[in-house]
Amino acid sequence: MGNPTDTAHRPDLERLFNPRSVAILGASQNVKSISGQPVWSLAKHGYKGTLYPVNPKYDTVEGVKCWPSVESLPEVPDLALILVAAARVPQMLREVGKKGIPFCIIFSSGFAETGAEGLALQHEIAAIAREHSIAVVGPNCQGMIGVTDDVYAGFGSAFSGDNFRQGSLSMTTQSGGFGYGVIILAEESGLGFRSIVSTGNESGLTTTDFIEWFTRDPQTKVIGAYMEGVKDAHRLLEVGDKALDADKPVLIWKVGNTDVGQRAAASHTANLGGALALYEAAFRQRGMIRVRDANELIDYTQVFECGKRPAGNRVAIVTISGGGGILMADQCVESGLSVGPLTRESELALKDIIPSFGSWQNPIDITAGIFNNPEMLAQAMQIIVDDPTVDSIVVIFASLQGEIATLRAKELVELSARTPKPILAAWSAREKFASEAYRILKEGKVPRFSTPVSCGKALAALTAFAEAQRRRAKEKTEPVLSLQRPDAKAMIAGRSADLAEYQAKALVAAYGIPVTREVLAKDRAAAVAAAKEIGFPVVMKVQSADIAHKTEAGGVRIGVPDAAAVEAAFDAIVASAKAHVPSAVIDGVSVQEMVSGGTELIVGVQNDPLFGPAVMVGMGGIYAEVFKDVSFRLAPLTRSVAESMLRDLKCFPMLDGARGRPKADVDAVVDVLLQLSALSVDLKEELAELDINPLVVLEAGRGVRALDALAKPHGRT
């Protein structure tokens, strides 16, 4: 058992969910009270190990011998439950530690959720847990269920009903009451569970720890997580990687998305990003699947439990009623799946067997003719399954019921067993008239959904996961650009003020990012000399760490045409800037090449306290903050990741030559994103935010140019 906060060595949680013996500290004889419920619940649900209620007040609890102290126990239990008031928890936890109990669930409230005093108490118990190497769940949680081993160690309605159905979904939830409510819904709809845990305040084991454990637990096939946010977010990529490798989808229900906090950020990157954008980036990078309601959790779990993974996103739709096919096609296309034509051979073969008022083209309508010619479905399905341009098949049976339904279900199961391609069914018959058909599908691992909408969404989730696995396999073969630039680090280390434009540009240039040719001129003569060197017309901008908004300070001139104009502009800029910010220390005026044409992007770095550095690219220009067309990825990036983030932008077609525009230098943008990735890792300790705004992208082959830049050191926020 390693320390749970040790990143090198993750704890094995098998004995937490399936303890051979459990000590219940503070167990009560009153089963209506929170401290009375766990012993009752463990016994009622058939716990097979030994229970050790601990309470000096009682001789027995629920007919089980009660012990006066932890120390007095005749063996070292695998798990301790702490049910005493918050103030007594540290002492109890020390006793647990002295006894050498490896796992402990602290149910008690009164910690970080109540304010500063509670937080201090929580720090204290975390320290005790570290000292004794106890893996702690909670405090302020509702407990855990080892469903496949009948271990119900907790309180509340989930612990007072029947045993849950056993299965392969493991769940971690940060909300006890609501999380268990969702689990009850999922169970009632037919899902089965392996392990469930409510993590509470996460003073020890975190949501991320549990996801990580579930990737290693052989009996878990699908992982679910209900989260408000995690403090160890930087580990999400690592854990997601393990899940992809283990072929285990992680279904994440992330809440707390609307009030992202009002931190005043200096850069566009931080304004356009924030925690939610970084969660989304992490999920996207490792194919973790967002769910947004209980029915999605249920539907997606079902489709993943079929065990199949489609080779691509091409779907064939087969229906016995045209209406459902139209809806399914809508849903598939909206979800990013492709509903394209089959091969000409398949179409002709289908044409031979489908009635003339049907459709032999995808979406395929074999019509209610199935009633007169029951073989038609199997014949059509075989043709479709054999078609090399089809990756998955969905069948819409509307409200087909009775014996014909049972026979069609059998055919689907037989066909599904013979092909690696996923076959899904949308079927909305009355439960009682199609129960046999439904049972056959369930046993045969053909996922069934009540409507084409839920079916299409689930297939899209399955397809996205398989795609993430392929993408990850490719990324692993790619090098990561890594750059060390001690000189650049020196420019920003220890600073508290933002870097002025010319300094920020020097910083990014150190990592190879092309910036405008420019000279920082201290006086008029230097400015004229610089302009002659660079070539007219030039751009001139005031440089001062004290002036964030140069244009508003009257400190910018575009298209300055000749030497006389440069002299006049120099004086005017300095005068305006001084008038605008009298106390400003002015470093000089930057004389820059003028870049015309091209497309404006914003690129940048957000170095988040929870996630670490992330790279951003987005549409530039005046509408940037209106449309928020941005894409984030956590660093470091490989080339294919950088390309994918660029392609995720809605404005990407404009760079790629849409509407008769010249193709922009996309490769050069990708280079910049990789350089920013290397920069963000190299300056992880020094840099808080950086953006290049605008980055002008010229025509293909002509590169990019950073026109302006801003860098904010970690020193202040």
Query: Minimum CB separation from a second copy for residue 436, in Å?
Result: 15
Query: Minimum CB separation from a second copy for residue 162, in Å?
Result: 8
Query: Minimum CB separation from a second copy for residue 458, in Å?
Result: 12
Question: Of 105, 383, 619, 687, which lies in the binding site for a second copy, with binding defined by CB under 8 A?
Answer: 619
The distance from CA 672 to its chain's CA centroid, rounded to whole angstroms, is 25
Question: Of 401, 516, 638, 675, which lies in the binding site for a second copy, with binding defined by CB under 8 A?
Answer: 401
In a 3-state reduction of DSSP, which class is residue 669? helix
Query: Minimum CB separation from a second copy for residue 710, in Å?
Result: 17
Sheet holding 423-426, edge to edge: 364-365, 315-319, 392-396, 423-426, 448-449
User: How far apart, in Å, are the Cα atoms of 372 and each of 355, 425, 436, 608?
Assistant: 11, 21, 21, 64
The per-residue b/e assignment along 582-595, b for 16 or more CB within 10 angstroms, e otherwise, is: eebebbbbbbbbbb
* Rg value, the chain, Cα: 31
Span of 325-333, 480-488, 672-680, 702-710 interacting with a second copy by CB under 8 A: 325-333
Preceding peptide of 537 cis, ω within 30°: yes
Axis-axis angle for helices 639-647, 452-476 (nearest 10): 150
Question: Of 117, 228, 375, 414, which lies in the binding site for a second copy, with binding defined by CB under 8 A?
Answer: 228
Contact between residue 710 and residue 716 where contact means Cβ atoms under 8 Å apart = no
Among positions 332-351, residues that touch a second copy (CB under 8 A) are 333-334
Query: Minimum CB separation from a second copy for residue 18, in Å?
Result: 25
Q: Which of 286, 215, 185, 301 is nearest to 251 (CA)?
A: 301
Contact between residue 51 and residue 19 where contact means Cβ atoms under 8 Å apart = no
Structure tokens at 589: 């005026």
Contact between residue 517 and residue 592 where contact means Cβ atoms under 8 Å apart = yes
Query: Minimum CB separation from a second copy for residue 399, in Å?
Result: 4
- 43 contacts a second copy (rule: CB under 8 A): no
Question: Of 190, 312, 322, 537, which lies in the binding site for a second copy, with binding defined by CB under 8 A?
Answer: 322
Among positions 86-125, residues that touch a second copy (CB under 8 A) are 109-110, 113-114
Span of 77-85, 152-160, 469-477, 608-616 interacting with a second copy by CB under 8 A: 152-160
Structure tokens at 107: 């149910």
Query: Minimum CB separation from a second copy for residue 578, in Å?
Result: 22
- 83 contacts a second copy (rule: CB under 8 A): no
Structure tokens at 418: 């013979």
Using CA of residue 443, residue 447, residue 450, residue 452, what is the dihedral sign? negative
Question: Of 174, 215, 302, 346, which lies in the binding site for a second copy, with binding defined by CB under 8 A?
Answer: 174
Using CA of residue 284, residue 289, residue 294, residue 296, what is the dihedral sign? positive
Residue 329, φ and ψ in degrees, nearest 5: -65, -45
User: How far apart, in Å, are the Cα atoms of 701 and each of 77, 349, 405, 510, 618?
Assistant: 68, 49, 61, 22, 21
Residue that has been written with the tokens 């075989």 in this structure: 382
Among positions 249-308, residues that touch a second copy (CB under 8 A) are 255-259, 292-295
Binding mask of the shown chain, residues 183 to 202, with x at each position contacting a second copy by CB under 8 A: -xx--x--------------
- 85 contacts a second copy (rule: CB under 8 A): no
Residue among 373 and 450 whose Cβ is closer to a second copy: 450
Q: Which of 193, 188, 96 is nearest to 144 (CA)?
A: 193
Helix (H) or strand (E) holding 602: strand 599-608
Q: Which of 606, 522, 536, 45 is nearest to 273 (CA)?
A: 606
Span of 469-477, 566-574, 648-656, 694-702 interacting with a second copy by CB under 8 A: 648-656
Span of 50-58, 130-138, 172-180, 572-580 interacting with a second copy by CB under 8 A: 172-180
Query: Minimum CB separation from a second copy for residue 398, in Å?
Result: 4
Residue among 48 and 292 whose Cβ is closer to a second copy: 292
- 658 contacts a second copy (rule: CB under 8 A): yes
Question: Of 30, 625, 647, 717, which lies in the binding site for a second copy, with binding defined by CB under 8 A?
Answer: 625
Residue among 296 and 518 whose Cβ is closer to a second copy: 296
In a 3-state reduction of DSSP, which class is residue 556? strand
Q: Are strands 612-619 and 599-608 parallel, antiparallel or unpaired?
A: antiparallel
Q: What length does the chain have?
A: 717
Binding mask of the shown chain, residues 411 to 430, with x at each position contacting a second copy by CB under 8 A: -----------------xxx
Span of 77-85, 233-241, 494-502, 625-633 interacting with a second copy by CB under 8 A: 625-633
Residue among 18 and 428 whose Cβ is closer to a second copy: 428
Question: Of 52, 180, 283, 300, which lies in the binding site for a second copy, with binding defined by CB under 8 A?
Answer: 180
Q: Going along 403-495, which residue ranges are E strands?
A: 423-426, 448-449
Query: Minimum CB separation from a second copy for residue 74, in Å?
Result: 35
Residue among 29 and 450 whose Cβ is closer to a second copy: 450
Query: Minimum CB separation from a second copy for residue 627, in Å?
Result: 6
Residue among 181 and 554 whose Cβ is closer to a second copy: 181
- 374 contacts a second copy (rule: CB under 8 A): no
Residue among 356 and 583 whose Cβ is closer to a second copy: 356
- 158 contacts a second copy (rule: CB under 8 A): yes
Contact between residue 221 and residue 168 where contact means Cβ atoms under 8 Å apart = yes
Question: Of 329, 350, 381, 687, which lies in the binding site for a second copy, with binding defined by CB under 8 A?
Answer: 329
Question: Of 477, 484, 626, 701, which lies in the binding site for a second copy, with binding defined by CB under 8 A?
Answer: 626
Cα 668 from Cα 514, distance rounded (Å): 9
Cα 291 from Cα 171, distance rounded (Å): 13
Among positions 436-455, residues that touch a second copy (CB under 8 A) are 450-454
